[in-house]
Amino acid sequence: MFDLGWGELLVVGAVALVVLGPKELPNALRTITNLTKSARRLAGEFQSGINEIVREAELEDARKVAQSMTKGSISQAIEKAVDPTGEMKSSVSSLEKDVKQISPVGPIPPAPPMAAPVEPAAIAAPQSSAEAAGDVAPAKEEAKA
């Protein structure tokens, strides 16, 4: 800031010693130190206040941008970023028209529903014709008796 070298500081110290004297020099240095500390503290507070104002302004700008994006302009912003000239959009729409003209097939019908799953009880051991008629009792019931 002041660009003082060691030689200049030595001259300032010698002049202060002669002017103030050896008794008052420590008090003067203490006072200068305290003033320097308070000046630095005030400068730091000022700078932090300015930084906070800048941060709030940036946040306000970001909030405004976010609000404008939520109002339906997200797709427009993406479209501008991806295709600023509109060339891709026109080529895709022309391709869609060409495909519709070439393809005689309409929309694809939905697939038929799948068959219901078979229950495990229906998959039993095959019965003989006598068991099916009810003439013969199943073997399990005979074993219990």
Digit-coded pLDDT (tens) for 69-78: 666 666 777 7
| Amino acid, single-letter form, for residue 45 | E
Cα(110)–Cα(89) distance, rounded to whole angstroms? 30
- Tell me, what's the pLDDT at 106? 61
Helices (H), 1-86: 6-68, 74-82
* Contacts (Cβ under 8 Å, ≥6 apart) of 83: 89
Per-residue pLDDT tens over the stretch 92-136: 888 888 877 776 666 666 777 777 666 665 555 555 555 555 555
- Tell me, what's the pLDDT at 3? 76
Cα(34)–Cα(40) distance, rounded to whole angstroms? 10
The percent of residues above 90 in pLDDT, for the chain, comes to 17
83 pLDDT higher than 70: yes
Question: pLDDT category, 30, cuts 50, 70, 90?
Answer: very high
143 pLDDT higher than 70: no
46 φ/ψ angles, rounded to the nearest 5 degrees: -60, -45
33 pLDDT higher than 90: yes
